[in-house]
Amino acid sequence: MTQYVGQAMPRYDGIGQVTGTTKYVDDIVLPGMLYAKCLRSPVHKGIIRHLDLSAAERTPGVVGVLTAQDVPGQNIYGASGDQPVFNPDHIRYKGERIAAVVAVDEDTCMEALEKVKLEIEEQEPVFDMFEAMKPGAPIVRPGTTHNLHEYMPGMTTRVIKLGDVEQGFAEADLIIEGRYQTTQQDHAPIEPHVSVAYLDPANRLVIHTVSQCLYFHLSQLVRVFGLPMSQIRYIGGTIGGGFGGKNDIHADHVAGLAALKFRKPVKYRETRREDLRYSGKRGVFVMEYKTGVKKDGRLVANHIKEYHDTGAYGGFSAYATEKCGMFASGPYWIPNILVEAKTIYTNKVVSISMRGFAIINGQSTMEIQMGKIAEALGMDPWELRFINAWRDGDMGASRYIVRGAGALEAMKKAAELAGVQLPAHLMAMSSRRR
Element (H, E) at 46: strand 46-52
- Rg of the Cα trace of the chain? 25
- Its pTM stands at 0.95
Q: What is the CATH number of domain 158-185+281-427?
A: 3.30.365.10
Cβ–Cβ under 8 Å, residues 197 and 236? no
- Three-state secondary-structure class, residue 244: coil
pLDDT digits (tens, 9 = 90+) for 262-294: 999 999 999 999 999 999 999 999 999 999 999
Q: What is the 3-state secondary structure (H, E, C) of 141-199?
A: CCCCCCCECCCECCECCEEEEECCHHHHHHHCCEEEEEEEEECCECCCCCCCCEEEEEE
Reported as a pLDDT band with limits 50, 70 and 90, residue 4 is: confident
The C-alpha atoms of residue 293 and residue 54 are separated, in whole angstroms, by: 68
Stretch 153-171: mean pLDDT? 98
Average pLDDT, whole number, for the chain? 97
Q: Are strands 205-208 and 232-235 parallel, antiparallel or unpaired?
A: parallel
For residue 427, give every residue at least 6 positions away whose Cβ sits within 8 Å of its Cβ, in sequence order, or none. 412
Reported as a pLDDT band with limits 50, 70 and 90, residue 17 is: confident
Q: Which of 331, 187, 167, 332 is nearest to 247 (CA)?
A: 187
Stretch 240-263: mean pLDDT? 97
Reported as a pLDDT band with limits 50, 70 and 90, residue 1 is: low
Cβ–Cβ under 8 Å, residues 225 and 240? no
The type of residue at 216 is F
- For residue 11, what are the CA distances in angstroms to 8, 99, 213? 9, 41, 20
Same fold flag, 24-123+187-268 and 158-185+281-427: no
How far is C-alpha 233 from the geometric centre of its chain's CA atoms? 25
Q: What is the CATH number of domain 24-123+187-268?
A: 3.90.1170.50
Is the pLDDT reported for residue 357 higher than 70?
Answer: yes
* Residue boundaries of the structural domains of the chain: 24-123+187-268, 158-185+281-427
- For residue 299, what are the CA distances in angstroms to 142, 295, 337, 343, 374? 44, 9, 10, 27, 11
